[in-house]
Amino acid sequence: MLSGAAQADETCASPYMKKITGQEDYVYIWTLGEQGVGDEQDKLVTVDVNPKSGKYGKVVDALSVGGRNEAHHSDFTDDRQYLWAGGLDTSKIFVFDVHSNPGKPTLSKTITDFVEKSGGVVGPHTLYALPGRMLITALSNNKDHGGRTALVEYTNGGDYVATHWMPTDGNLQGAIKSGKYADGYNYDVRALPRKNLLLTSSFTGWNNYMMDFGKMLTDAEAMKHFGNTVVAWDLHTKQPKKVFDVPGAPLEIRCAWGENHNYCFTSTALTSQIWLIYEDAKGEWQAKAVADIGEPSKVPLPVDISISSDDKLLWVNTFMDGNTRAFDISNPEKPVQVYEKHIGAQVNMVSSSWDGKRLYYTTSLLANWDKKGKDNEQFFKLYHWEGKELKEQFAIDFHTEKLGRPHQMRFGARALYSAQTLPQTQLQANAK
């Protein structure tokens, strides 16, 4: 397992990224601008979350970036000095300096030519730290705005490096197609460096994610255009190796942290299942459904998931009922739900501290997919978890604060001098 007893960092963080030890000081929340709310712009909102601070539970900064870009996901460079944040609609990428003054980030750079540089890739989604690089998944393309898309590499300095298109039936690029699908869709990415493994999941294109949710659900043609695959890649060469059938739009990927735990999880939004991606006894990677989430027939819409650092719990949020669920994954092949709590009318993202004692929640899924009227709750909440019950510590109403729709969260610290990277055993890969 990871060294260090008091680490506090999101358990979905890249293993190449420096980690914070001790209590996190800030949470950076990438927030969608909302018409009629405040300045209506996307913004990076900084909340003080250190209980020893006089500003605990308060917004200490809100940096607007101009316009509404469908703010969605963000993450740090491997040195943790910069936070990259993407816009799914405009394909802009905003690079924030979070190390010069962690409590008051500044906008360092805006990348506006992502589509042009990448060769037509649209909708930067996951931003994932590799050594000296940012690996970016995207959701769409500029030809038909469908789900055909790619992985894109940039340097930490913001220079384009390469585009790696997803394998399709028409061009598998040497990958093995293990089932019915090779759809070329993408969503999330995670790495197991010691296994030289990169995994990507799949979602839907611009045509769907920018459509009103209710309208899309009744559009039979639109509902055909969701991803059904997870792809295993060679981490070093970015060569796709195997395409797995994972029907129903597999979203976030979370990999186990134990040095001998060769598996990752994902959840399917449309079929409400937990899937296990694992290395079998012969050293081959496989995929299989291992648990249902709620009642799949009611389509609770699983969204974000978070794995505990000891690989014992998987937290799963479901957007439609606003609940969070904890699954015991001690046996990864047989997850068992052990806890459930209602967080709000809608809930999307969950971020767990490394010690597992703090879980943060936000609400917004997509501007056109969030609920309407009184159910359009937009909040940021902190809960404490001692193993039996989630206990709310504070909540910030983003509408009352005139901030917009809070989406993804990332942890910050007042000083990074104590940050550390993973031990070499965790980073070693089988191939060079």
Closest Cα partner for 205 from 75, 366, 348? 366
CATH code, domain with 351:
2.130.10.10
Give bridge partners of residue 71 from the DSSP assignment: 87
Each residue's pLDDT tens digit, 197-252: 999 999 999 999 999 999 999 999 999 999 999 999 999 999 999 999 999 999 99
Q: Does the residue 263 lie in any domain? A: yes
pLDDT band at 4 (very low <50, low <70, confident <90, very high): very low
Q: What percent of the chain has pLDDT over 70?
A: 94
Does residue 93 contact residue 86 with C-beta atoms inside 8 Å? Answer: yes
Q: What are the phi and psi torsion angles at 298 (to 5°)?
A: -90, 0
Q: What is the pLDDT of residues 305-348, one digit of tens each?
A: 999 999 999 999 999 999 999 999 999 999 999 999 999 999 99
> Given this model, what pLDDT does residue 206 score?
98
Q: What is the pTM of this model?
A: 0.94
**Residue 279, Cβ neighbours under 10 Å: how many?**
16
Q: Alpha-carbon distance 246 to 274, whole Å? A: 10
7 within a domain of the structure (yes/no): no
Residue with the two structure tokens 């501007």: 367
**Alpha carbon distance, N-terminus to C-terminus of the chain:** 23
CA 39 vs CA 44, 66, 67: distances in Å: 13, 9, 9
Listed range (53-62, 134-143, 358-367, 407-416) with the worst mean pLDDT: 407-416
What is the predicted pLDDT for the residue at 21? Answer: 65
pLDDT at residue 427 tops 70: no
Contacts 24+ apart (CB under 8 A), 57-64: 57/382, 57/393, 57/394, 57/396, 59/396, 59/401, 59/403, 60/26, 60/103, 60/104, 61/103, 61/104, 61/105, 62/31, 62/403, 63/96, 63/104, 63/105, 63/106, 63/107, 64/33, 64/39
Q: For residues 18 and 121, what is the distance between their CA atoms, to the nearest angstrom?
A: 29
What is the residue whose two structure tokens read 């980690």?
19
| Per-residue pLDDT tens digits for 257-285 | 999 999 999 999 999 999 999 999 999 99
What count of residues does the chain have?
432
The pLDDT score that the predictor gives to residue 19 is 80
Band of pLDDT at residue 11, cut at 50, 70 and 90: confident
* Residue 381: strand pairing partners: 361, 395
227 and 185 Cβ atoms separated by less than 8 Å: yes
Q: Say how many domains are in the chain.
A: 1
In tens, the pLDDT along 343-388 reads 999 999 999 998 999 999 999 999 999 999 999 999 999 999 999 9
- Paired tokens of 410: 């990332």
* Domain of 302, in residue numbers: 26-416
Kindly state whether residue 55 falls inside one of the protein's structural domains: yes
Answer whether residue 6 shows pLDDT above 80. no
Q: Which pLDDT score, from 0 to 100, does residue 9 have?
A: 61
| Average confidence score pLDDT of the chain | 93
Domain assignment of residue 50, yes or no? yes
* Gap between the Cα atoms of 245 and 177, Å rounded: 9
Query: Considering the domain boundaries, does residue 81 fall inside one?
Result: yes
Is pLDDT of 133 > 60?
A: yes
Nearest to 180 by CA among 141, 238, 229: 229
pLDDT at position 10 = 78
Q: How far is CA 389 from CA 124, 185, 293, 383, in A?
A: 36, 38, 19, 9
Q: Is 421 a residue whose pLDDT tops 70?
A: no
Residue 19, helix vs strand vs coil: strand
Residue type, 89: D
- 3 in any annotated domain: no
Please state, in angstroms and rounded to a whole number, the distance separating the CA atoms of residues 161 and 153: 5
Half-sphere exposure (Cβ direction) of 266: Cα atoms closer than 13 Å: 32
Residue 162 lies in a domain: yes
How far, rounded to the nearest angstrom, does the alpha carbon of residue 97 sit from its chain's CA centroid? 20
Looking at the predicted structure, is the pLDDT value of residue 121 above 80? yes
- Return the pLDDT at 26: 97
pLDDT at 2 over 90: no
Residue 10 in any domain: the answer is no
| Least-confidence region, from 37-46, 252-261, 392-401, 422-431 | 422-431
Tokens 């998944």, residue located: 137
